[in-house]
Structure 1
Amino acid sequence: MLTLHYAPKTISIAVAITLEEVGLAYDAVAVDFASGAQAKEPYLSVNPKGRVPALVTGAGTLTETGAILEFIAETSGQLIPDTPMATARMREVMFYLASTMHVNHAHKMRGHRWADQQSSFDDMTAKVAETMAASCAYLEEMLTLDPFVTKDFSLADPYLFMVLSWVPGDGVDLAAYPKLSAFVDMMKTRPSVQAVIAKGML
């Protein structure tokens, strides 16, 4: 049995959606960020980074969203495109989300990772709407989303869905990006997303 350590509405829910998509059974264990449980034992014994997700498998514990998603795809034989170029395009989007858009979002509430002064935190927070809007504009232009990131549903779709779920809270009107908005609406109707909503994870 797989065990997913997650926090509601974080990127870890992309892992839960993916597990639901491929039909792999898992136990879900919530990490209480409000109490700082991610930075204490016993969670640090699961993931010394103090972040989610962490997926405990029979062969060991995996961290980092992209690596976990790839493990699920390899284990299930699903959600990887059928050509090298399409697979590379999928990963291109995932890497952008991880290295740029997630970081843009994190500046709103995780400024302590990069600075120590309150004035720095305030400046980073004030920049979030601008940088997230720029990321949305880039994705709106770059992606076809007809209706998925690639021709068929892939690992990039739960990842993109979760990152876009943060956009309204970051002060960006997703309706200004019609393809992204339609993608989010479509994803909300999928049984996998409905399942994690029913479990209180999203």
Structure 2
Amino acid sequence: MQLYYARGTIAVAVAIALHEAGLGFEAVRLDFKAGDQTRPDYHAINPKGRVPALVTDHGILTETGAIMDYIADLAPQARLRPEDPYEAAQMRAAMYYLASTMHVNHAHRARGLRWADEDSSIADMKAKAVRTMTESAQFVETHMLRGPFVMGGALSLADPYLFVAASWLEGDGVDLGLFPKIRAFREAMAARASVARVVADGMI
């Protein structure tokens, strides 16, 4: 498999999950500043011009949540998804929040051109991102982390997702001192071999 990613993006969560699952892959790095994601050769892989994209023997998958579910299906022995249907749904609820709310809050700071053209509008979005990302961090701190990890004591697909999203907090102006559970979570994740690998590979 080939994983197309850009440094520090949510695609790195897929790399962490692949390592946790023990699945081999080739990491293909895109340089967003150089515009690699806008070029026809990459659009032939992912016409959305986003990451991640995972090239498999069956075709190309996009969207982080879908790819993560695929990884869990390929490696059930890794137990990256709870067996209990309700617990699995709770895990996905956390992932959908990260995708639909926290990730969007983050994008308002760095990628305001997706939503507006006026400089003043983009500046307003960038300024408000501090508040909205702080609110997201508070939600994670209060309602999402059920233990060392999202689902309690065992790592699940939601944890690589949260780890990458939580790595954006300082850059978005969030005071991490207010969130001891998130700090402890990041330390627990950083101690895992999967995260050490993506750090060593310069992916995050």
TM-score, scaled relative to structure 2: 0.96
The corresponding residue for 1:128 is 129
| Structure 2 residue matching 1:42: 3-state secondary structure | helix
- Cα 1:30–1:175 change in 2 (3 A) is same
The corresponding residue for 1:150 is 151
What do residues 65-87 of structure 1 show as CA deviations (whole Å, max 9, x unaligned)? 00000000011113010211110
The corresponding residue for 2:86 is 85
Pick from 172, 186, 189 the counterpart of residue 187 of structure 1.
189
| CA distance in structure 1 between the partners assigned to 2:192 and 2:42 by the alignment | 31
Matches within 5 A, 1:152-191: 152-191=154-193
| Cα deviation, residue 34, structure 1 | 1.2
The corresponding residue for 1:36 is 35
Give me the CA root mean square deviation: 0.9
Matches within 5 A, 1:41-52: 41-52=40-51
Percent identity between the aligned chains? 53
What do residues 34-86 of structure 1 show as CA deviations (whole Å, max 9, x unaligned)? 11110112111110000000000000000000000000001111301021111
- Aligned 8 A contact 1:145 1:179 in 2: no
The corresponding residue for 1:65 is 64
Amino acid at match of 1:138: F
- Aligned 8 A contact 1:52 1:63 in 2: yes
The size of the alignment, in residue pairs, is 201
What do residues 87-111 of structure 1 show as CA deviations (whole Å, max 9, x unaligned)? 0110010000000000000001111
| Cα deviation, residue 169, structure 1 | 0.2
| Structure 1 unaligned regions, length at least 5 | none
| Structure 1 residue matching 2:196: 3-state secondary structure | helix
| Structure 2 residue matching 1:67: 3-state secondary structure | helix
| Structure 2 residue matching 1:185: 3-state secondary structure | helix
Moved more, 128-137 or 108-117: 108-117
TM-score, scaled relative to structure 1: 0.97
| Cα deviation, residue 175, structure 1 | 2.1
| CA distance in structure 2 between the partners assigned to 1:11 and 1:75 by the alignment | 20
Matches within 5 A, 1:91-102: 91-102=92-103
Match status 1:74 vs 2:73: yes
| CA distance in structure 1 between the partners assigned to 2:159 and 2:10 by the alignment | 12
The corresponding residue for 2:3 is 4
- Aligned 8 A contact 1:7 1:30 in 2: yes
